[in-house]
Structure 1
Amino acid sequence: MQHITGISRHQMRFSSLEDTISPDNQVRFIDAFVELIDISKLDFAIKTLKTEGRPSFNSKVFLKIYLYGYLNGIRSGRDLEKECLRNMEMQWLLEDIRPNYHSISDFRKDNPIGLKKLFKLFVSFLKDADLIGGETIAIDGTKSRAHNSKKANFNQKKIDKHLAYIEAKTQEYLDTLEENDGKDNSAIIQNIQQKIERLKGNKFRYEQLEEKLKASGEPQISTTDNDARALLVQGQVVEISFNMQAAVDAKHNLVVATHTINRNDRNALSAIAIEAKENLEIETYTALVDKGYHNGREIEACKQANITTIVAQPEQGKNKERITENYLISKFQYDQITDTYTCPQGETLKTTGSWYKKTTDRDSYEFKRYGTPKCRECPVKDLCTSRVEGRKIDRSQYADAVAENNKRYHENAELYRKRQEINEHIFGTIKRQWGYNHTNLTGLEKVNGEHSLIMLVYNIKRSINILGVPDLIAKLQKWNSPYKAKALLLIKTICLKLNTANNFYPMKLAA
């Protein structure tokens, strides 16, 4: 049987790196974009030229490495070093520069602020390229596992459990020593004494952890990564993780704002919503958000920032007073003019006007209390409340904003259903397809930098899929950016190459 044969490995070939890269290869856009920007203005650490010794690498080299690496699912410094040696695309991108893994890893670790600002800069480009609508934005978060095991995370309950075990085990060993006192069991006694000393050392470490926990004022502490927290992932599943927030524009499902926190979503809405507004430099927009973010204070903050929220209304919790469905709080009508409630029986609940403060482990707010003395004589009181003094309704200081939001939620059910279509697949792509479901960096600031890089390459990948590399570079050329002047010549050169290569998407060059 005849097979297809290859060429001889010893045959000489004459070609350039340029000939190996097709006109629509994504590395051409990476090169054009990185060369366009002045990274010193984005607070990247710049390697200074030395008068003696080996010259340093240009910081743009490492930025190109990481953009290419994360676009292709490669994030390890050692793996990126290998790609610099064997990958033709990487050789073209870096002009065959080959840094070692340590220098590569240091760049990501040392530049979290620069990476966050670079993400925002690219969002600005996408807006100018008319790829972002800025009218409807879906907000959500996802958990990213931290570089910290569950065993290295402690709260007071867990510390108390360990201390109690040490105390019980120590007493058990002391009792054994007493039983063997005076007997010829020197080996057993020595072994037990070593175990007691080890327990003393463990007790000292847990007592130090307890002091550190109390001093921090936090409910938990992690020893490998001090900023990592045990967060609820799904149902009753808890992971030591960070919470990556993302605001996604509805036009092309591009991420317009992102940051990472180490708490759950309940108090996170206003920060990511306002960040999206600032990144896009718009007056207002509509935010679609799931019920995990439903918080009066956060909804009020968005209202003050001129952001229209449609946050899903959570289901009412279990009824401690055994209230029947016809007498739920939603059945009581509030009159804003008279500042009163009317119950289903037609009675008016009034307030004294005094404000009370309520603080829980998740929230803190002020409220007014409403009631009526006629509750005690009501014939259906047993259906409404079990309190002797009658039914009381607490109205939060944020009740107006919450009521407006809940009304919009019920009136815009079809629009709200688009929320999952807009942002859920982004987390699926990043975590399931690309495998970016964890971070190997420690510290909230560094993790923020890496997650900004992940969202940046997602936007690059998606914008390339929408427009293609040549058209995207053409828009980059026309971009009215403060970083444009130094790189215009380079982009013109790239565009000329794209035009002359099989007449691939002809572009008009700027004068």
Structure 2
Amino acid sequence: MTPNNQFNNNRFYENYQLKLPLEMDVLIPEDDSVRLLNFVLEGLDYSNLYNKYSTKGRKSKVDPKIMFKIITYANMENIWSSRDIEKHCRRDINFKWLLQGVQPPDHSTICRFKYEKMDEDVLENLFSQMLNILFELGEINFENIFIDGTKIESAANKYSFVWRKTIIYHEKNMNIKIRELFEKINKIYNQNFTINSSENIYTINEINKVLNFLYETKISTNTNFVYGKGHKKTQLQKFTEGLEKYADIRKKYDEHYLKLGDRNSYSKTDIDATFMRMKEDYMKNGQLKPAYNLQIGVESEYIVGAAVFNNPTDSPTLISFLEKLKQNLNTTYKNVVADAGYESEENYMYLKENSQNTYIKPSNYEQSKKRGYKLKYGKVENMIYDKENDKYICHNNKYLEHIKTISRKTATGYSILKKIYKCSNCKNCEFRSNCYTGKYSKKITVSPRFSELRKESLKNITSEKGNLLRINRSIQVEGAFGVIKNNYGFKRFLSKGTKNINIDILFLCLGYNINKLHSKIMNNRLGISLFKENEVA
């Protein structure tokens, strides 16, 4: 028999024989992480998940609880693609053990389960239940939370950007042309349509009002519009076609503004993604790419909360992140530890009102430790404040008197009061070169509330406990990002939209936490929540 005939008759495996019954359980080591996964996830309540399934019709081939275990274990093993999960379900003995003899699901079934049946609320509930198990085991105690953020690239195309500044620029030019068109229509047809200045915006309603007039004029004058080469268009047709073109552009710009919200950019192929400057660019030229700002909170090396935002900076995300954490865990952390990127008066006040101890490093902390910082006499921190007379005293013993108070509101509506102080005369001051390089007398702007809150936070982080917490922030939360990005290779989302990405992140955190619990068990480190300074050294 030729080799081709042998393969065609499926006889190439005739020398192999499977011995039944096949006991897969004995092939998996007792300390394998898949056993720990099965033990932990068996203790969860899946009633919310089962409620997503109808009691009518054909029953699902794979039980939802088993599907949940499979996807979580795939995240533990750095398997992100649904097609790869399907392949491992058919070949990997650990996946087969989790399936309990059920036929492996295909990739479309996995996707439907992940993004349709398993919505964000259900997954948040299961994630919170797992954290409660860690609490019962004594692994976390909801006391110290270390917060940080990183940018992860979206699955969107790189060159699909829409910029707010570009829209404003082209919109302004279009507005000038519409105004000129309105002026001509008013002059020729003796109308009085509103003529805005070139800085204002013509709304779609204003444009449609003039278009309706042109349509009525066409009917009343029995004017026929012509098309194609060799036909001369009437002035009415030119006005109508020009205004129709601007109406379409106006609708497009309105859609852009709606998608932008309060952002400065978005991606056409992933509307929720914002263009951000990525750190890990190989050429070190700070390329802008569509991305999400991933925020996580870590305690005792476990991720206790995660969320994605489309803000490029960390400061506006802190309150929303902590509120979400409070809602999911039904508790409030006692100590909040974060880096200088989270410093703002609004964040300080939120933590103070919620009786949470602030361990946020001031943005000028590293600079203030340098030798030359004290020689910068123009810094408010290097001046003496006379509280009784509400004045600042500079290095030359001159007064900077309060001249006015200004108020501004943040994007969230928080009101910030700032005081402006001015020196009466800086002329011929011997310290001017180290204080002020302007033409007129020295002015400083101070937020009294922010200054007091910053001093409290500085006192906290420089205490013995504060030093220990700051060391652990660098190890625990930044270490978690190092594991996710480098060890797991998770540097780019595979799905699009905030809803789907939050689901991906929560599954990733579930897998991360079980891997961490397994690692601590194997290394006999259970119950250890903080690294000591001598351990770090």
Give the structure-1-normalised TM-score: 0.72
Match of 1:444 in 2: 498
CA distance in 1, matches of 2:524, 2:382: 59
Q: Give SS of 2:447's match.
A: strand
CA distance in 2, matches of 1:416, 1:433: 24
**8 Å Cα contact 2:266/2:275 also seen in 1:** no
Q: 1:224 to 1:372 in 2, by over 3 A?
A: closer
Q: Supply the RMSD in Å over aligned alpha carbons.
A: 4.0
Q: 1:278 to 1:46 in 2, by over 3 A?
A: closer
Q: 1:120 to 1:55 in 2, by over 3 A?
A: closer
Match of residue 255, structure 1, among 284, 303, 309: 303
**Structure 2 counterpart of 1:132, which letter?**
I
Q: Give SS of 1:109's match.
A: helix
Match of 1:186 in 2: none
Q: Summarize deviations over 1:195-225 as a string: whole Å, max 9, x none.
A: xxxxxxx999876542212344432232222
Cα drift, residue 304 of structure 1: 1.7
**8 Å Cα contact 2:41/2:130 also seen in 1:** no
CA distance in 2, matches of 1:9, 1:207: 71
Q: Give SS of 2:159's match.
A: helix
CA distance in 2, matches of 1:13, 1:246: 47
Structure 1's unaligned 5+ residue stretches are 1-6, 165-188, 190-201, 473-511
Cα drift, residue 284 of structure 1: 4.9
CA distance in 2, matches of 1:99, 1:379: 79
**8 Å Cα contact 2:44/2:129 also seen in 1:** no
**8 Å Cα contact 1:155/1:221 also seen in 2:** yes
CA distance in 1, matches of 2:332, 2:412: 31
CA distance in 2, matches of 1:362, 1:317: 29
Match of residue 129, structure 2, among 104, 121, 125: 121
**Structure 1 counterpart of 2:447, which letter?**
R
Match of 1:343 in 2: 394
The aligned length equals: 426
Q: 1:21 to 1:381 in 2, by over 3 A?
A: closer
1:233 equivalenced with 2:278 (yes/no) = yes
Cα drift, residue 446 of structure 1: 1.9
Match of residue 17, structure 1, among 17, 24, 36: 24
CA distance in 2, matches of 1:54, 1:362: 47
Q: Give SS of 1:326's match.
A: coil
**Structure 2 counterpart of 1:233, which letter?**
M
Match of 1:48 in 2: 54
Match of residue 107, structure 1, among 99, 108, 113: 113
Cα drift, residue 359 of structure 1: 5.6
Q: Give SS of 2:425's match.
A: helix
Match of residue 314, structure 1, among 354, 359, 363: 363
Match of 1:213 in 2: 256
Q: Give SS of 1:306's match.
A: coil
Q: 1:334 to 1:91 in 2, by over 3 A?
A: same
Match of residue 71, structure 1, among 76, 81, 88: 76
Q: Summarize deviations over 1:82-114 as a string: whole Å, max 9, x none.
A: 222222211111112222211111111122222
Q: Give SS of 1:22's match.
A: coil
CA distance in 1, matches of 2:142, 2:60: 45
Cα drift, residue 303 of structure 1: 1.9
**8 Å Cα contact 1:229/1:240 also seen in 2:** yes
Cα drift, residue 157 of structure 1: 3.8
Match of 1:267 in 2: 316
**8 Å Cα contact 1:78/1:101 also seen in 2:** yes
Task: Name whichever of 423-432 and 134-143 sits farther off.
Answer: 134-143
**8 Å Cα contact 2:44/2:126 also seen in 1:** no
Q: Give SS of 1:142's match.
A: strand
Q: Give SS of 1:375's match.
A: coil
CA distance in 1, matches of 2:158, 2:413: 26
CA distance in 2, matches of 1:136, 1:54: 44
Give identity over the alignment, percent.
21
CA distance in 1, matches of 2:18, 2:416: 82
Task: Name whichever of 331-340 and 210-219 sits farther off.
Answer: 331-340
Q: Summarize deviations over 1:241-283 as a string: whole Å, max 9, x none.
A: 111111112x4x1112221111121212233345556666666
Output aligned runs, 1:183-202, within 5 Å. Answer: none
**8 Å Cα contact 1:247/1:258 also seen in 2:** yes
Q: 1:211 to 1:304 in 2, by over 3 A?
A: same
Q: 1:91 to 1:324 in 2, by over 3 A?
A: same
Output aligned runs, 1:30-179, within 5 Å. Answer: 30-41=37-48, 46-50=52-56, 52-53=57-58, 55=60, 57-97=62-102, 98-110=104-116, 111-158=119-166
1:431 equivalenced with 2:481 (yes/no) = no
**Structure 2 counterpart of 1:29, which letter?**
L
Match of 2:343 in 1: 294
Structure 2's unaligned 5+ residue stretches are 1-13, 173-228, 230-244, 280-284, 368-373, 527-537
Match of 2:213 in 1: none
CA distance in 2, matches of 1:331, 1:295: 21
CA distance in 2, matches of 1:140, 1:254: 13
**8 Å Cα contact 1:260/1:448 also seen in 2:** yes
